[in-house]
C-alpha cells in the first residue's frame, strides 16, 4: 500500500496559491500511484472556509483513483459536522475511530481536541489494545510533540497555547508502525519510535507564513518501508543571505548575482545583503550600490529586503582601525596585509 501524507494547507478560498497547492498534491498522488492520501489536520483555515469550499473539495477529489482520509486539526476542528458530505472517496475521522478497510493495515484517528497532556495520555492508553500485531498500525495525529524542542514560531501563527501535547514515551509498548502527524509547519521531521516505528511531521506543503522557508515536501512511502520526503512544486519562502567581502577582487554585484542564481521559480525571497564594498575601487557610493543592487535583483520575487552594506572607507577612517594599523607598523608587509584584511572583515561583518 502506497501512502501520501501531508497536513496544514489552511485553505481559505479556491482562488489562491493554497488551493493550487492542493491541486498539486492531488496531481502528485496520481503520478506516484498512491492508494491513499492522508491529511493530518488543518486542511481548512477555519470552519467558515470549510463550508464555502466543500463543493470544490468534492470536485477536486472525485475520480482521483485513490482514497482520502482527513482528521480535524485545531483550525478546522469544527468543520466536519455530522451529516456534512465531502465526497464518496473521502473519509473524515472526526473522532477517535478505527478503519480496517485496507488489507493488512489498520488506521486510527486521533484528531485535535482541546485537552491537556494528562487527558491525552488517558485517551492514548485506552487505545493500546487496538494496535494488535495482526496488521500494520497507523495513527493519525494533530498536535505537539514535547520530546522535540520547537520554537512557537514553527507551528505557524498559533499563539502560546498548547495543542494536544504528546510525549513519545506515552507510546512505549504500543504496536504502532507509523504516526502521521500535522501541526508542525516548518519542515519535514522524522523520529524513530522505541518499537522501531516512525513519527512523521510532513511540514506544511506550502508556506503559510514567512517562517516556512525552503522547498516544501510531502511524505510518500510504502507501508512497511521508512517514510520518505518528496519535494513538491508549490510557492514557498526562501531566505537568501549574501555577505560581501571588500577584500576580494570580484565585483560585489557579481557576487549578488551568484547568490541569487538557481532559485526555484515559485520561491518568494527574503533577501539579506550585508558586509561591505570597496566603493573607491568599483567607483560607486553606498547609495549607488543599493540602487544597482535593486536593479540586479529586479527579476527575482523579493518579498522582503534587508540591505546592510557599508563602504569599506568608513572602516578605514575609523579611529579604532587607525590605531590597529599603527600597531602593525613593525610587521613585514605581507603579514601586515593579511592582518589588515582580517581586521576589515571583522569590523564590517560585526
Q: 138 and 50, same structural domain? A: yes
Burial class (CB in 10 A: 0-12, 13-18, 19+), 206: buried
Q: 198 and 155, same structural domain? A: yes
Q: 205 and 62, same structural domain? A: yes
Q: Is the pTM of this model over 0.85?
A: yes
CATH of the domain at 91: 3.60.21.10
Q: 95 and 207, same structural domain? A: yes
Q: 200 and 283, same structural domain? A: no
Q: 268 and 188, same structural domain? A: no
The residue out of 231, 264, 291 marking a domain boundary is 231
The residue out of 231, 248, 266 marking a domain boundary is 231
The pLDDT tens digits along the chain (350 residues) read 999 999 999 999 998 999 999 999 999 999 999 999 999 999 999 988 988 999 999 999 999 999 999 999 999 999 998 778 888 899 999 888 899 999 999 999 999 998 888 899 999 899 989 999 999 999 999 999 887 655 545 555 555 567 888 888 888 889 999 999 999 999 999 999 988 999 999 999 999 999 999 999 999 999 999 999 999 999 999 999 998 888 788 999 999 999 999 999 999 999 999 888 888 889 998 889 989 999 999 999 999 999 988 888 777 777 887 888 788 888 888 887 788 777 777 776 65
The residue out of 183, 212, 231 marking a domain boundary is 231
Q: 160 and 109, same structural domain? A: yes
Q: 248 and 158, same structural domain? A: no
Cell, residue 53:
469550499
Q: Which domain holds residue 179?
A: 2-231
Q: 226 and 246, same structural domain? A: no
How many domains does the chain fold into? 2
Amino acid at each position: 500500500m502506497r501512502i501520501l501524507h501531508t497536513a496544514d494547507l489552511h485553505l481559505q478560498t479556491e482562488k489562491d496559491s493554497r488551493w493550487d497547492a492542493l491541486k498539486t498534491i492531488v496531481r502528485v498522488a496520481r503520478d506516484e500511484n498512491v492508494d491513499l492520501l492522508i491529511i493530518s489536520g488543518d486542511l481548512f483555515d477555519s470552519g467558515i472556509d470549510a463550508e464555502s469550499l466543500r463543493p470544490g473539495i468534492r470536485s477536486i477529489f472525485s475520480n482521483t483513483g485513490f482514497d482520502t482520509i482527513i482528521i480535524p486539526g485545531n483550525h478546522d476542528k469544527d468543520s466536519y459536522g455530522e451529516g456534512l458530505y465531502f465526497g464518496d472517496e473521502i473519509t473524515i475521522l472526526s473522532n477517535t475511530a478505527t478503519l480496517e478497510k485496507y488489507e493488512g493495515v489498520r488506521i486510527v484517528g486521533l484528531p485535535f481536541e482541546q485537552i491537556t497532556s494528562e487527558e491525552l495520555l488517558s485517551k492514548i492508553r485506552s487505545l493500546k489494545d487496538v494496535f494488535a500485531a495482526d496488521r500494520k498500525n497507523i495513527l493519525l495525529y494533530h498536535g505537539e510533540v514535547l520530546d522535540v524542542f520547537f520554537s512557537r514560531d514553527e507551528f505557524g501563527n498559533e499563539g502560546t497555547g498548547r495543542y494536544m501535547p504528546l510525549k513519545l514515551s506515552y507510546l512505549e509498548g504500543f504496536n504502532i508502525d507509523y504516526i502521521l502527524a500535522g501541526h508542525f509547519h516548518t519542515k519535514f521531521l522524522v523520529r524513530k519510535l522505541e518499537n522501531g516505528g516512525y513519527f512523521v511531521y510532513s511540514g506544511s506543503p506550502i508556506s503559510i507564513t514567512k517562517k516556512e522557508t525552503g522547498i516544501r515536501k510531502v511524505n510518500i512511502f510504502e507501508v512497511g518501508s521508512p517514510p520518505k520526503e518528496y519535494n513538491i512544486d508549490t510557492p514557498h519562502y526562501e531566505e537568501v543571505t549574501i555577505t560581501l567581502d571588500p577584500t576580494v577582487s570580484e565585483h560585489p554585484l557579481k557576487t549578488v548575482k551568484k547568490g541569487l542564481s538557481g532559485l526555484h521559480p515559485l520561491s518568494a525571497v527574503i533577501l539579506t545583503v550585508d558586509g561591505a564594498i570597496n566603493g573607491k575601487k568599483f567607483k560607486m557610493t553606498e547609495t549607488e550600490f543599493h540602487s544597482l543592487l535593486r536593479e540586479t535583483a529586479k527579476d527575482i520575487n523579493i518579498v522582503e529586503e534587508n540591505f546592510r552594506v557599508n563602504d569599506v572607507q568608513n572602516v578605514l577612517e575609523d579611529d579604532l582601525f587607525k590605531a590597529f594599523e599603527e600597531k602593525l607598523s613593525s610587521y613585514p608587509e605581507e603579514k601586515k596585509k593579511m592582518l589588515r584584511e582580517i581586521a576589515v572583515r571583522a569590523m564590517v561583518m560585526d
